[in-house]
Amino acid sequence: MTEPAEVETTGRFLVLLQEDAIEEGLAELGAIAGFDPNTGELGSDTLQVFPELGVAVVSGDPNLLAELNGAAERPGPVQIVEPERVVHVFDAAPAEEEVEPAADESVLTWGLQAVGADVSTATGKGVKLAVLDTGWEKNHPDFTGRAITTKSFITGEDVQDGHGHGTHCVGTSAGPRKPATAPGYGVAHEAEIFAGKVLSNAGSGSDGGILAGIDWAVANGCAVISMSLGADVPAGTPYSQIYETVAQRAMAKGTLIIAAAGNASQRPARVAPVGHPARCPSIIAVAAIDVNRAIASFSSGTADKIGQIDLAGPGVDVYSSFKLPEKYRRLRGTSMATPHVSGVAVLIAEKTGARGYELWARLASTALRLPLPSTDVGGGLVQAP
């Protein structure tokens, strides 16, 4: 596998504003970009503002970047400017055929057993979990009666999941334990679900959509945000300073962001670096293991000094909900490992009341150490309380 090309961008810019000077920052942006910030509505072509995060997305003339960077270099409310990236679902190529792992899944999936959800008394009740992905299968029979809040951040598409990836991730993190058809597959099966559509039915999106979803989740008091998405990057690529600041600001407000590391490795020949945005230090980067607790061949890892793996979750031949009419599917990827970790984080949040930095510490300190390099699995396999 060749190194990924430079990260694809949209032509728009992300602008980080000083947290206590958002209005002043927007006024400065307006002066530079040539718009009236007082009429810049959320979702307009020129300006999107995410007030919980202190970030704006601006479109305009290509020369705008130089002017914005000039503003960022001076003391003032405009702090950092970055090009907006294109992002995708992180799912590995499907196996040639669906493989049922060598484990007894007559009651619960092997992944739930691996993280100890089968013997935990925690359910996730009372804790809000946001899954930012391709949306949600609104008519899935396994979720009748569940509290599910949805919102689409993709222009021209409602939250209905035309891809399936988002529905699979929602199911793993918070699906039922006793569906009509066994096995049960949800880690935090009584969590309050917030399903945000930040990727299109084709499985792609942009930083602006993801940041809109994060802003929404933080504003709604979600304890955990699960993101099985991103962009592969060449080794040595700096992490996004804007996402890093956003993650810090979200954590300070009680919201922990957990993201897939990526599926770009071809082990043992090549270990690919952790992708964007999981490579940010304040976002938990998740690797995938299989039923034998071996690192998945595709799982991106700590391949440079910038991005590193924090924790691991079950990510091979994972059975969960899917869009109709299929209803269920087995998938593989760090995308499947991430909702396992997010679900466990919700269980710990319910049991301990921990949020933000404390929740991260508890999640990491209770992980099961594995006889594998920390560069592959970080602190180990997450464990339910």
Query: Residue 153: exposed, middle, or buried by beta-carbon count in 10 A (0-12, 13-18, 19+)?
Result: buried
344: helix, strand or coil: helix
Residues of the chain by 3-state class (helix, strand, coil), percent to 5? 25, 25, 50
| 277-307 residues labelled b (16+ CB within 10 A) or e (exposed) | bbbbebbbbbbbbbbebbbbbbbbbbbeebb
How far apart CA 256 and CA 227 sit, in angstroms, is 11
Residue numbers annotated as active site = 133, 165, 335
Q: Any residues with CB less than 8 A from the CB of 119 and at least 6 apart, and which?
A: 384
Give the separation between CA 251 and CA 218, rounded to whole angstroms. 9
Which residue, among 293, 281, 282, 256, has the nearest Cα to 367 in the 3D structure? 293
Contact (CB, 8 A) for 92 and 142: no
3-state secondary structure of 180: coil
- Record the tokens describing residue 25, joined without a space: 């920052």
- DSSP strand pairing (128-133 vs 318-321): unpaired
Pairwise CA distance, residues 354 & 385, whole Å = 12
Query: Using CA atoms, how far apart are residues 162 and 134, in angstroms rounded to an integer?
Result: 8
SS3 at position 340: helix
Helix residue ranges per DSSP H, the chain: 22-33, 64-73, 110-114, 165-174, 207-219, 241-252, 334-352, 356-365, 374-377
